[in-house]
Amino acid sequence: MSRTNGLYLVIGALVVAVIGLGAYVYQEETEPKGVELSIGQNGISVEEN
């Protein structure tokens, strides 16, 4: 019975890791990247990414 419990523990840990990684990637992709500042012939341009 202890081998089965260990297997459930490993599977549970993997599920938690996959959910955590998915949440991290989603958060990184949805938050704004910052501000882009360009200086060219037309003057200064500021854009939020």
What's the pLDDT score for residue 1? Answer: 58
Number of domain units in the chain: 1
Give φ, ψ of 34 to 5 degrees: 135, -150
Residue numbers of the domain that contains 7: 2-48
48 close to 31: Cβ distance less than 8 angstroms: no
What is the rounded distance in angstroms from the CA atom of residue 18 to the CA atom of residue 24? Answer: 10
What is the rounded distance in angstroms from the CA atom of residue 47 to the CA atom of residue 4? Answer: 55
What's the pLDDT score for residue 46? Answer: 85
User: Tokens at residue 44, please?
Assistant: 């200064």
In tens, the pLDDT along 1-49 reads: 578 899 999 999 999 999 999 999 998 888 777 888 889 888 888 887 6
